Amino acid sequence: MECPVCHQPMKKVRWDISHNPNNDNKEYDRTVYQCTTDDIWATTEIPKDNLNQQNI
Which residues here bind Zn ion, judged by CB under 5 A?
3, 5-6, 35, 37-38
Least Å from the CB of residue 43 to Zn ion: 16
Q: How far apart are CA 40 and CA 5, in angstroms?
A: 9
Residue 13: closest CA among 52, 49, 40: 40
Nearest CB to Zn ion, comparing residues 6 and 17: 6
Minimum CB separation of residue 10 from Zn ion in Å reads 7
Q: State the nearest-atom distance from the C-beta of 6 to Zn ion, in Å.
A: 3
Residue pair 8/37 in contact by the 8 Å Cβ criterion: yes
